[in-house]
Structure 1
Amino acid sequence: MKRFALLLGGPLLATEALRARLQGYRLLAADSGGRHALALGLPLELWLGDFDSSPPWLQQILPAPKEVLPRDKDLTDGEALVRKALDLGAEAMLLLGALGGRLDHTLAHLELAFSLAALGVQVELSDGLTRAFPLLPGSHTFPLEPGAPFSLLPFPEATLGVEGARWNLPPAPLKATTLTLENRALGPIRIRVEAGRAVLYLF
């Protein structure tokens, strides 16, 4: 499977666990996401963007092949990077620096994740500490440890249920609810999305 880790511009906690996990991933960065490559100490295959948010000192010290985009364009640098990864045959994408920071970018990244999932790409978003997964209609199993906290969010509405949690939920139509926040896994959880879209958030 062709796995790509895309370094985006949001906050990212560069941990040893994350460095170890990235073994076997091809690393690409969008504009200011290049700073995460320095923090991780890992080489970039490509650094893409209009570079309006990457200071000159970063561009001078980060050794990476660059693809410069025009500043006036109809997509973000992150979306352009997602398209580049698809062109390179990505089957799984880890979107790092995709959560937190600017709310508009976080929501745009979630929409990108759903579009990738619809194409059959395995996708996960993370800030290095928390993780999010887009869920389309169907059954989804996640091998969580007992006691692991999670939230399950309709995005923006869904008919969904969960088993294997402290608070199980039979399939129910939900939207704009706190009912499915801050649950706890008893072990692997099974989520059924019967209609709509949802986000699994691990924290």
Structure 2
Amino acid sequence: MRVLIFSGGNLNTWALSSIKEEDYIIGVDRGAYFLYSNGIEMDCAIGDFDSVTKAEKERIVAKTKEIISCDAINKNETDTEMAFNFALNKQPKEILLFGVLGTRFDHSIANIQLLYSGLDAGIDCKIVDERNEIQLVNSQLVIHKNRFKNVSLLPLTFEVSGITLEGFNYPLTDATIRIGESIGISNILNGEIGKIGKITIKSGILQVIKSND
């Protein structure tokens, strides 16, 4: 099973093409109304719903199998973190997060850091938007060449060591990248669409960011 989470950041109809019939769909606050507006029935809607009107929330409820509401002030988690933890408890094969990047840079950083919990649980997790795809690696990761041209590697921990890249234009062998160094920016996978690249590290956690300009 895959779980797809739609939050209230940068979203448009491009995100709908990722939905498969068997996916478990979670709408988060304004993201739930985005799904409703595009005729997508949700398995669950989560949040304080302070970004929608009363009438919009009623429409969300009508198109959702389960509603999990929380107080807008008395809570210790963002709506997206609530949804992510809910998804982790279902122990799916994969979690995809849409609409979790946007104008609030603090929220964007917090949502990238959520991926650590997925990595710790052994669940493949990705943040996807129109121009970016973000995931973490702490041992080995195989990625496929797709619509994203660039592949950048940035440390999430202070230091990531033993980095070896195969199938990249700019290979590395047993390299170390520390926070503040940009050597991992804008690499490119070799070959045609569908070809693979392999990232192996010995210690630390890397952010793998596939992107287009």
TM-score by length of 1: 0.88
Q: Name the CA shift for 1:113/1:158 in 2 (closer, same or farther; >3 Å).
A: same
Aligned-residue RMSD, C-alpha: 2.0
2:16 maps to which residue? 19
SS in 1 for 2:202: strand
The answer to whether structure 1 residue 134 and structure 2 residue 133 are counterparts is: no
1:174 maps to which residue? 177
1:34 maps to which residue? 32
In structure 2, the gaps of 5 or more residues are none
Q: Name the CA shift for 1:84/1:118 in 2 (closer, same or farther; >3 Å).
A: same
Write the distance in 1 (CA, Å) between the matches of 2:43 and 2:166: 41
- Paired AA for residue 165 in structure 1: F
Higher mean alpha-carbon deviation, 189-198 vs 125-134, is at: 125-134
- Residues 67-97 of structure 1: CA distance to partner in whole angstroms, max 9, x if unpaired? 2112211111111111222333433110111
Q: Name the CA shift for 1:109/1:128 in 2 (closer, same or farther; >3 Å).
A: same
Number of residue pairs matched?
199
1:48, distance to aligned residue in structure 2 (A): 1.1
In structure 1, the gaps of 5 or more residues are none
2:120 maps to which residue? 118
Write the distance in 1 (CA, Å) between the matches of 2:170 and 2:17: 33
The answer to whether structure 1 residue 150 and structure 2 residue 154 are counterparts is: no
Write the distance in 2 (CA, Å) between the matches of 1:59 and 1:119: 32
5 Å-filtered alignment, 1:1-203, equals: 2-15=1-14, 18-23=15-20, 24-38=22-36, 40-62=38-60, 63-64=63-64, 65-71=66-72, 72-136=74-138, 138-145=139-146, 148-156=149-157, 157-159=159-161, 160-175=163-178, 176-186=180-190, 187-203=195-211
1:146, distance to aligned residue in structure 2 (A): 9.9
CA contact (8 A) 2:96 2:125 kept: yes
Write the distance in 2 (CA, Å) between the matches of 1:37 and 1:117: 27
CA contact (8 A) 1:5 1:96 kept: yes
Q: Name the CA shift for 1:13/1:116 in 2 (closer, same or farther; >3 Å).
A: same
Write the distance in 2 (CA, Å) between the matches of 1:9 and 1:168: 37
Q: Higher strand fraction: Structure 1 or Structure 2? A: 1
- Paired AA for residue 19 in structure 2: L
1:53, distance to aligned residue in structure 2 (A): 1.9
CA contact (8 A) 1:96 1:128 kept: no
- Residues 101-133 of structure 1: CA distance to partner in whole angstroms, max 9, x if unpaired? 311111111221111111011111112432111
